Chains A and B, each alone.
Chain A
Amino acid sequence: MTVTDRPTIRDAPDHRVPARRGRPGRVNGRQPIGALLVTPYLVFLLVVFAYPLCYAVYISFHDYFFAAPGAVVDRPFVGLQNYRTVLADPAVRRSFVNVGIFLVINVPLTAVLSLTLAGALNKAVRWRTFFRVSYYVPYVTASVAVVGVWLFLFNSDGLVNSILGPLAPDPSWLVSSALAMPTVAVYVTWKQLGFFILLYLAALQNLSKDLYEAAAMDGAGRFASFWNVTVPGVRPATTLVVLLATVTGANLFTEPYLLTGGGGPDGASASPVLIMYQRGIEQGSPDIGAAIGILLVIGVLLLALVERRLVGRDD
C-alpha cells in the first residue's frame, strides 16, 4: 500500500454519516456521560489552577497587599510598575540566573542517570524490587528529613570533605558561591531520581524485544543497541522527564531554604520561588511576588517549548 492508498479521516466510517444538527449527543460528544465525568476535574482545574493564576496576574498589575476582611484599603492599578521593580532587583535577576544554572545541571543529569539506571534495573534479574524501592525512598521522603543526610555529607566537617582531606574545597560546598547551586542541583537530582526511573522503566518495558534481537543480528554491541534502540524508543518518556524535571526544578524552594540557610551564600543559591516567598509572604508584598511568579511561568513555558522542539521532535 502506498501512502496515497492510506484511508483518510474523511473516509473513516464514523465520519461518512453526516451528523444531525441540534442533536444533544453532538453537543456533548458521542458519550455525554463523559462530560459529566470530566466535570469534577474541570471544576478542580478552574478553582485550583485557573482562578489563582488569573488572580496572580491581577495582583501583579496592582499595588496589592493582603488585608483583613472589611478593612478599607486602596489597591490602585499600577500597570507594569511591579514588573519594573522586579526586573530592577538584583536579587531577583540573580535568582533567575541561579535557577538557570540549576536546570542546566539538573535536567540532563536527571535524564541520563534515570535512563541508565532504569536500563540496568530492566535487565536486573535479582534484587530488582529492592533497587526500585531504594531509588524511590528519597523521592517519597520529606525534604526536611533527607536534607539532614546531605548536610552530614556536604557540610564543611562532613563525610565528603573528610574523605577529600586537603582536596576539600575552601570555602566548602554549601558556602561557596561557585559550588552551592551545583550542590543543590545534584542533591535534587538524587532525591527525585526514583520517580523518573519509574517513568523510564515503564517505557522500557513497552519496547519490543524484537528490536534488540534485530540490532544484535545486525552486530550491534551493548552501547550501539542502547543508543540506536533504547534512546529513540523511549523518546516520549524522555520528553516527559525533561519537561517534568524543568517544571519541578523551576519551582525549587525547599532545598535552598534548608540546605543553604535561605539562599546563601550571598544569594548564590536563591531561587525565584524563594525570593517570591520572601517578597510576597515575609515582606507583605504579594504584588511583587506575583510579578516574579508570572515571569517565572512565562520563562518556564518558553523553556518547555524549546525543550519540546529539541527532545520531542519526532513525536
Chain B
Amino acid sequence: MRRTFTAVALGAVLAAAAACGSDDAGTGIETRGPITVWYSNNLEEVAWGKQMVAAWNTAHPDQLVTAQEIPTGKSSEEVIGAAITAGNAPCLIFNTSPASVSQFQKQGGLVPLDSFADGTSYVEGRSGEVAQQYKSSDGKYYQLPWKSNPVMIFYNKKAFAKAGIDAGNPPLGTYEEFLATSRKIVAGRGAQYAILPAPSNEFFQSWFDFYPLFAAATGGKQLIEDKHATFAGDEGRAVAQFWRTMYAEKLAGQEKYTGDAFADGKAAMAIVGPWAVSVYRGKVDWGVAPVPTPTGTAADATHTFSDAKNVAIYSACKNRGTAWDVLKFATSSEQDGKFLELTGQMPLRNDVASAYPEYFTKNPDYRTFAEQSARTVEVPNVPNSITIWQTFRDAYSRSVIFGKQDPGASLDEAAKRVDELASQP
C-alpha cells in the first residue's frame, strides 16, 4: 500500500514537473494575458509608445500592456543583458540592437519569431528583402526589423558658403572631392574640422565612420560574409586610407568632443540619420548628401549603414500570444505611420517611401532618408558580434585615427582575428 502511494505521489510530481517544463504551461505561444514592454527613452519615442499602448489597452482590456522607458544604464544592451540573466526581462523591447541579438540568443533570452504560425511571413512581408539581414545563423528570426536611421552626410550650408563652396550642390561625391571640400572648409575657416565622427574606442563607433562608407563602396557588403571578414579588401583599404588622410591632415579631430560638434559649429559636416532633422531644425541651416564613394556613386544607388533598432520577444515572457499580437499591432501600417510622424525615423518597411505620401509631401526633408532606407546595410548577425566589432575598432583606432600602424596591415591582422571569432560558436 505504501509502495503504491509512493509511486502515485512520484508520478504526480513528475507529471507536474513535466507540465511546468512544457511550452504550454504559462509560456506557450498561444498564451494571452497582461504583458510588459520597454521602449526607448527619447521624448519622441516615448510619445509614440504611450499612444500605441493606450490604443492597444482600449481595444484589449483583458490583455493590458504595461509600458515603461528602458531603465537607464551605461547602455541599453547591458540593461537588457542583465534583465535576461535575472529572468525579469519584459515581453517586448522596442530598442533591441541588432548587434546584441546573437549574444541575447546565446543567453537563451529570446523567443524565435518563427515559432508563431505567421512569424516568418509577417517579418518578411513587412520588411521585404531587407529582412534577410536580420536572420540569425540558425536561420530563424529572433528580432523584427523595426526602424532604421540610414546615415548620410549632413552639411552646414553657412560653413560651406563661408569657405567658398557651393552649398546648393557641394562636391562630396568622391573621396577626392570630399577631401578637397574638407581642406577648403578648414583652410577657409568654415569650421575647425570638416567632420568630427567620435574618435573614441567604443565598439559601435565604426558604424558612424568606416562602415557607411564601406557599405557604399562595396554596393552593400556587410563586415562579415560567410564567416569571413570582408573589410581587408581593396574597398575597405580605400575607405581606411580616406579616413587616415582626414585625420592626418587634421580635417577630422582625434579628440572626443563632449557636445554636439555639428550643432556647435565645430565641424561643418556630420554622419547622422533622420533623427537629426528635428534636432538641428532652427539651429543649423543644413543640407544632406549621400556618403562618398571612390568613384562617386549616384545617390539613388548608394548604400549606407542602417543604424536600426528592432523589436524582440524575450523568453521571460509568459503571455507570448499577447506579445506577438502587440508586436504586430505596434508595427502595423497605421502605427508605423504614427511612428514616422512623431519621431521622423524610418519604419523598416519595404514600402516606406510610397506608403506615407502625405507625410513626405508635408516633410520633404525626410524624403531623401526614406529613399535611402531601401539601400541600407545592417551589422552582420553572427556570433561574437560585439567582440568582432571591438576587434575591428581597436585596429581602426590604432592605424586610421592615431596613425600608429599602416591601415592595410592593421586591417589584415584584424581580419585574421575576426575570421577566428566568426567561426566560433
Contacts and interface: CB of A to CB of B under 8 A. Distances in A.
A171 interface: yes
A284 B383 CA distance: 11
A67 B258 contact: no
B200 A264 contact: yes
Interface string B92-127: 000000000001001111000000000000000000
Interface in B311-333: 315-316
Interface residues of A, number: 34
A175 B87 contact: no
A177 interface: yes
Interface in A254-278: 260-267, 270, 278
Contacts of A171: 254
Interface in A168-202: 171-172, 174-175, 177
A12 interface: no
A52 interface: no
Contacts of B109: 67-68, 71
Contact of A262 (B202, B253, B254): B202
Given A148-B258, A282-B78, A284-B103, A69 B87 contact: yes
Given A68-B109, A261-B198, A264-B397, A156 B255 contact: yes
B84 A261 contact: no
A175 B254 CA distance: 7
Given A261-B199, A261-B201, A284 B258 contact: no
B423 interface: no
B385 to A, nearest CB: 9
B60 interface: no
A296 interface: no
B354 interface: no
Given A68-B316, A262-B200, A264-B201, A284 B81 contact: yes
Interface string B369-404: 000000000000000101100100010011001101
B179 to A, nearest CB: 21
A71 B315 contact: yes
Nearest to A151: B258
Contact of A265 (B103, B202, B402): B402
A263 B87 CA distance: 32
B85 interface: yes
A282 B391 CA distance: 13
Contacts of A71: 107-109, 315
Interface string A54-96: 0000000000011111111100000000000000000100000
B56 interface: no
Given A71-B315, A172-B255, A284 B201 contact: no
A184 B387 CA distance: 26
Interface of B is mostly: loop
B203 interface: yes
B50 interface: no
Between B78, B86, B316, B402, the greatest number of chain A beta carbons within 10 A of the residue's beta carbon is seen for B402
Nearest to B386: A283
Given A71-B108, A174-B255, A261 B390 contact: no
B256 interface: yes
B421 to A, nearest CB: 10
A251 interface: no
Contacts of A143: none
A143 to B, nearest CB: 13
Between A91, A278, A283, the greatest number of chain B beta carbons within 10 A of the residue's beta carbon is seen for A283
B85 A281 contact: no
Nearest to B106: A65
Interface in A135-176: 148, 151, 155-156, 171-172, 174-175
Interface string A282-304: 11110000000000000000000
Between A65, A171, A175, A266, the greatest number of chain B beta carbons within 10 A of the residue's beta carbon is seen for A266
Between A70, A91, A171, A284, the greatest number of chain B beta carbons within 10 A of the residue's beta carbon is seen for A284
Interface in B167-224: 198-203
A67 B397 contact: no
A264 B254 CA distance: 10
Nearest to A288: B387
B256 A261 contact: yes
Contacts of A262: 200-202
Between A156, A171, A261, A281, the greatest number of chain B beta carbons within 10 A of the residue's beta carbon is seen for A261
A67 B401 CA distance: 36
A265 B255 CA distance: 9
Nearest to A257: B74
Between A66, A68, A270, A285, the greatest number of chain B beta carbons within 10 A of the residue's beta carbon is seen for A68
Given A155-B255, A264-B397, A68 B84 contact: yes
Nearest to A156: B255
Nearest to B109: A68
A265 B401 contact: yes
Contacts of A175: 199, 254-255, 402
A254 to B, nearest CB: 11
Contact of B107 (A68, A155, A174, A270): A68
A106 B77 CA distance: 34
B107 A91 contact: no
Interface in A9-28: none
Contacts of A278: 203, 390
Given A66-B85, A156-B255, A264 B390 contact: no
B201 A263 contact: yes
A284 B106 CA distance: 10
Contacts of B86: 69
A68 B387 contact: no
A177 B198 CA distance: 18
Contacts of A285: 387
Contact of B199 (A155, A264, A281): A264
Interface of B: 75, 77-78, 81, 84-87, 89, 103, 106-109, 198-203, 253-256, 258, 315-316, 384, 386-387, 390, 394, 397-398, 401-402, 404
Interface of A: 65-73, 91, 148, 151, 155-156, 171-172, 174-175, 177, 260-267, 270, 278, 281-285
Given A71-B108, A177-B402, 4 more contacts: A68-B89, A71-B109, A261-B202, A270-B201
